[in-house]
Chains A and B, each alone.
Chain A
Amino acid sequence: EPEVTQTPSHQVTQMGQEVILRCVPISNHLYFYWYRQILGQKVEFLVSFYNNEISEKSEIFDDQFSVERPDGSNFTLKIRSTKLEDSAMYFCASSFLAATDTQYFGPGTRLTVL
């Protein structure tokens, strides 16, 4: 069964450093998403992406964040200058349709900012 994959599974970085989290969505999916979950809290939406454009972003997704689909298979989330409060589990998800369809989630990348 096709699945969303994410790398790395765990990333440790120093405050102020740039990080890139990588995702490979399910191959025929058209819509891509990033969510995050601070430890012990609920999952929060960050951004959605379709046709090489951001379709929606949350208040969390400020200028420090960016997304890119650099080729036909990868989808990346970049945090330009990490802060302590960026420590969280980051989930990538994908779906074939926008609304009335299952969003399939990857296993997550645990980001720790020291």
Chain B
Amino acid sequence: DVKVTQSSRYLVKRTGEKVFLECVQDMDHENMFWYRQDPGLGLRLIYFSYDVKMKEKGDIPEGYSVSREKKERFSLILESASTNQTSMYLCASTVSSGNYGYTFGSGTRLTVV
């Protein structure tokens, strides 16, 4: 089975901290994505990457950056965490054609206090 592993299930960080969320997939997928999920707002795309060192902004990139130095790893960085970034963060990956849907990780529930 394809696995997408997110490093933490729960995180609590302080306002202003720099936060790193890590995601690793084990099926050699080219495409990787970061979403946040909030009640009433659904899944919103933050950033995505089609290949190593490539990144594209999604719908809500403000306050975030990403890094993809290796094909299997896609990191989401909150440069200076704020309380409105409290959310469930989901990483996903898919093959380049995208025809088989995304495989999601289990999510990271981030609370910024």
Do A and B come together as binding partners?
Answer: no
Residues of B within 8 A of A (CB): none
Residues of A within 8 A of B (CB): none
